[in-house]
Each structure stands twice: as structure tokens, then as C-alpha cells.
A and B are shown apart, each in its own frame.
Chain A
Amino acid sequence: MDEAGARPQRIRRRRFLDYSFGAALAALAGTVLYPVINYLIPPKTKEITHQAVVAAKGGELPPNSGKIFAFEGKPAIVLRTPEGEVRAFTAVCTHLACTVQYRPDLQHIWCACHDGHYDLHGQVLSGPPPRPLVEYKVTVKGDDVIVTRA
């Protein structure tokens, strides 16, 4: 290859190198910035703090009704008594760990698995459950029913 032919080719090559260099750096910046920017977007979570969770909205909980929600990775139940008081308990039956439910007809908590009955303070009324349900603390703030560990 002679001098005259080689030089423009080399220049062209260098320019190509520079362009791809810029593109590569941009791509690198992209691969770094994409996760970083995504990281900064706050995740959706129902938790207010680590131990407080919005169990229900006021509207979802008319008197004499209950709702199951997740609390610290376990089912919990929040209910409004026929008198209008809001209470929350663990929903894990103390017999064989089935999930309990609110029975509007009986006006108390009931476990379907072996017919365990608990009153509206979590105490065992009848059936095989050996222990009462643990009660949680309920705070009603605006439209939110917030449950925390008592």
C-alpha cells in the first residue's frame, strides 16, 4: 500500500472509531443510568412503616363486616362490630392455622375448617381452637384503617 492511499483510509478509520466510541460511551451511560433512574422511582407498597399497614378504607368496612388483609406476611382480619367499633386480629386460627373469617349472621369470627368460634375480642367461644386470636392496634385516620402491632 502506498502512502497516498493509506492516509485517507486511516483517517476514515479513526473517524469511524471516534464515532463508535461516542456511541459506546452513550450506551454504557445508558446501562448504568437505566437501573439508577428506575431505582429512584418509589415502589408501590401499602406499608406506612414497617409495622403499620392500611388494612382497609373506611368505606369498605360497614358495621357488622370484616376484611382479610396481609400483615407481616400473614393473614389478618379487620372488622367493624355491629356497634361500629373497628378491631383487628391475626386471622390465623390457633387450631390448625386456617384463615378465619367474619360471620355477619353470627356477629363473630369463625373458622370454617373445624367450626372454631371466636368472639369480637378474639376469645374462643367454642370449637377446637386452644388459644384466643392476638389483637392488633387499630387507628382510623381519615378514610384509612391503619393496623399496627399492639
Chain B
Amino acid sequence: MGLRDWLSERLRYEAAGSFLEKKTVPVHRYAVTYYTGGITLFFFLVQVLTGLLLLMYYRPTSDAAFESVRLIISRVRFGWLVRNIHVWSANAMVGAAVLHLAATFFGRAYRKPRELTWVSGVLLLGVTLAFAFTGYLLPWNTLAYFATKVGTEIAGDVPLIGRALMVLLRGGEDITEATLSRFFGIHVAILPALATVLLGLHLLLVQIHGMSRPISVRVTGEERFFPEFMLRDFIVWVVLLGGLAVVATLWPWPLGEKADPLAPAPAGLRPEWYFLFMYQTLRLLPGRIAGLEGEVVGVTLFALAGLGLLLVPFLDRWAQRERSHPLVSALGAAAFAFALLMTALALIRPM
């Protein structure tokens, strides 16, 4: 065992081992929500790996982007698999992150001392959505092109700085190759760096504070994090891996047509499902509200809602006193119901 000793002296992994040995996970009727974070992490790791692979062939110029993705899915061996997994896993990651948010919110897991865990988590959700938004444009197909056009226009409705923000996002007045370069840079450099820092902090905080026990839920026992909980986590991961392989193979994500900036916007244009509720809300708002432009009001409200979400641990005074107030749950449920309703409306009513 010379090698093990050598390594142990330098890496001191017994510390980690003893930490893991002591770490436990509470057992109760909602314990299943503890998996949502791990699931999100799994999809994130899949994104990192497949994203690195896609980088081998992807070319971020308006002339070559579409062709290079086509090359990946038609010529590169298993390129179709890598690309389809990347797309599907991206969608799944957004879904998992939202589930994780809901579980954390309704379990009041953000209460003292986990406020910063929550803040880093909400920021990570923002990073995830930014990943999704920037990544969507990269294949440079018609749908992506026009969805990005609409999406960045919404950014232009932010009060005061809107126009500057839009130009900054687009790298100019219009969606051009400059936008593609910019989005590519954001997608593969800036966001990964941000995500690494935030995720590191998030996971570190989770280790420091351990799993939160929900208020007023009877904890029936404890189980060791290692190996029991981790094994179950792995089972979930392995099953998800299989699921990704199945959907990626059986339901390949269409590449569509190459973007033509001069062509008219196609009918039935809409953003990806996770932005639909915002899109639909802005569409339903009247043109003018109290003398202000309707969209500006909408975007401002969404920005305030985002800020509110970020500050939930500091706003929920009851949770700070270990009380689970029904008003908070009702507000959360209303927000989710609103998002669901808007999404459903957008899906039912064609544009």
C-alpha cells in the first residue's frame, strides 16, 4: 500500500473520508426532493462533456456555423448523438433546475443559515437560462435566428438601459455574425467560468450546512450520505443517462434551415418553452399601461420578480423564525400557476 500512503500524505483524503462518513441525510416523506439538486448537477456535467466535444467541430461564424453543425450530425461519427444529447440535456437541465428551485422554495430550505446557498442557486438558475438562450442561437438556423431577435428585443424594453443592453447583447443594432461571436464567447467562456464559481460555492455551502430539514415535517430517521444516499443518487444518474440516450436517438432534434437574415420571419415563431411564459405575458399586456409602454412595464415587473426571487430568504420573515407561513406557499404556488397558465396559453394559441 505504498502508493496509497504516498497519496494520502499529500492529498489528505482521509479528511474528506471522515467528513463523508459523518455526513447524513434526513429521511422523511419529502426526502425525494433531495435528488433534484443532484439531477441538475448531472445534466450540467453532461452539458460540459458534450459541449467540449461539440467545440471540436463547431465554427462560430455566420457562414460556417450551420454547416459545421450539419457536419457534426451527418459526417462526424456519433456526432448526432453528442449534439442531440447536448440539446436534450440542456432542456432537461432547465427543467431540473426549476424543480430544484420549487423543492427548495416550498421546503423553506433557504432559511437561516442557508440564505447564501439560495442566492447562489438563483444565480445559477439565471446562468442556466443564459446558457440556454445563448446556446440556442449557435446552430444559426432560422428558428434560432428569429427567436434570438425577439428575445433580444425584449431586453431592449428594460427601462432606461434597454436599448444599450440590446446593442450590447447583439454586438450591434441587428443580429449579425457579431452576435454569433458574442453569444459563442458568452456560451463557452464567460458562463462556464461564472457557473464554475457559483456551483463551487453552492456545493461547498451544501456540504457545510448539510441537507435542510423541512419545517413541521416529521423526520423519521437518518441515512448515511456515503454510501447509501450516494448510491441512490448514482442509480438516478445512470437511469437518466439511459433516458438521455433513448430520447437523443429516437427523437433527434431537427436542425432546420440555415438562417437567412433577409427572409421574412417564419410563422409560428416562439421562444423555447422555458421563456414562453414571459413571452406570452408580454404579448397579452396592453399597448400602454398608465402612460408607459406595456412591454416596458412587463419587463420591469419580471425584473422585480427576479429580484424578489433572489431575496426570498430575506423577505420571508416567518421562515427566519422557523415558521412555515401559508402565505409564502400561496405566493409561490400562484407564481408557478401563473407561469404554467401562460405557457399553456402560448402552446394552445398559435401565434
Contacts of B82 in A (CB 8 A): 35-36, 39
Question: B residues within 8 Å of A by Cβ?
Answer: 53, 56, 59, 63-64, 67-68, 71, 75-79, 81-82, 238, 241
Determine whether the beta carbon of A39 is less than 8 Å from that of B71: no
Contacts of B241 in A (CB 8 A): 32
- A-B contact number at CB 8 A: 38
Minimum CB distance partner of B66 in chain A:
A50
Determine whether the beta carbon of B79 is less than 8 Å from that of A39: yes
- Chain A 27-43 near chain B by CB (<8 Å), digits 1 or 0: 01000100110111111
Given known A35-B78, A49-B64, contact A43–B71 (CB-CB < 8 A): yes
Contacts of A9 in B (CB 8 A): none
Minimum CB distance partner of A36 in chain B:
B53
Determine whether the beta carbon of B238 is less than 8 Å from that of A28: yes
Question: A residues within 8 Å of B by Cβ?
Answer: 28, 32, 35-36, 38-45, 49-51
Residue of A36, A38, A39 most packed against chain B (CB within 10 A)? A39
Instruction: Give A35 to B238 CA distance when docked, in angstroms.
Output: 17
Contacts of A49 in B (CB 8 A): 64
Partner of B77, one of A28, A32, A41, A50: A41
Determine how close the nearest CB of chain A comes to the CB of B231; give it in whole angstroms: 11
Minimum CB distance partner of A31 in chain B:
B245
Minimum CB distance partner of A42 in chain B:
B76
Instruction: Give A36 to B85 CA distance when docked, in angstroms.
Output: 12
Given known A28-B238, A45-B75, A50-B68, contact A39–B63 (CB-CB < 8 A): no
Minimum CB distance partner of B85 in chain A:
A35
Enumerate the 9 nearest inter-chain pairs by beta-carbon distance, A residue then B residue, closest first. A35-B78, A43-B75, A38-B77, A50-B67, A50-B64, A39-B78, A43-B76, A38-B78, A35-B81
Instruction: Give A44 to B76 CA distance when docked, in angstroms.
Output: 9
Determine whether the beta carbon of B77 is less than 8 Å from that of A39: yes
Determine how close the nearest CB of chain A comes to the CB of B258; give it in whole angstroms: 11
Instruction: Give A41 to B57 CA distance when docked, in angstroms.
Output: 11
Instruction: Give A42 to B72 CA distance when docked, in angstroms.
Output: 10
Determine whether the beta carbon of A39 is less than 8 Å from that of B53: yes
What are 24 residue pairs bridging A and B, where the CB atoms are less than 8 Å apart in the complex?
Answer: A28-B238, A35-B77, A35-B78, A35-B81, A36-B53, A36-B82, A38-B78, A39-B53, A39-B56, A39-B78, A39-B82, A40-B53, A42-B76, A43-B71, A43-B75, A43-B76, A43-B79, A44-B75, A45-B71, A50-B59, A50-B63, A50-B64, A50-B67, A50-B68
